[in-house]
Amino acid sequence: MSFQAYLDAVEKKTGRTPRALLEEATAHGFGPGTRAAPILEWLQADYGLGRGHGMAMVHVITKGPQIDAKHVGSTGTHRDASDTLWLDGAATRPAPAG
C-alpha cells in the first residue's frame, strides 16, 4: 500500500482529511519531536485507528508531508507518485499528469 493510500484510508475511516487531523494534532500539542506513542494513543482513542494507519499520521505530524524520494516511481509495495503527500483529501487531489 502506498503512503498516500494509507492517508486516503485514514480519511475514509475518520471522516477527516489528513490536514484536518494534522491541525487537530497541533492543537493537542503534537508536532516535530513528539514520540509516536501519545499520537497513536490519541488516534486510537478518538478515531479507532490502528497502528499502521496511525503511523502514517505520525509521520505527517512529526515530519511533514515529504517522503523519501526512493519510493517515487518505484515498483515496491510502498511506491508513491510523488514525494509530497496530498493532505487535503482524496476528492480534491489533482489527477495525475499524463
What pLDDT is stored for residue 94 in this prediction? Answer: 85
Tens digit of each residue's pLDDT (9 = 90 or more) over 36-60:
999 999 999 999 999 999 999 999 9
Question: How many domains is the chain built from?
Answer: 1
In a domain, 90, yes or no: no
Q: Give the separation between CA 88 and CA 71, rounded to whole angstroms.
A: 21
* pLDDT band with cut points at 50, 70 and 90 for residue 84: confident
In a domain, 48, yes or no: yes
In a domain, 93, yes or no: no
In a domain, 49, yes or no: yes
More confident residue, 19 or 77: 19
Domain extent for 42: 3-73
Query: Residue 85 in contact with residue 18, Cβ under 8 Å?
Result: yes
In a domain, 85, yes or no: no
Tens digit of each residue's pLDDT (9 = 90 or more) over 1-26:
788 889 999 999 999 999 999 999 99
In a domain, 97, yes or no: no
Secondary structure of 38-95 in HEC code, one letter for each residue: HHHHHHHHHHCCCHHHHHHHHHHHHHCCECCHHHECCCCCCCECCCECCCCCHHHCCC
In a domain, 8, yes or no: yes
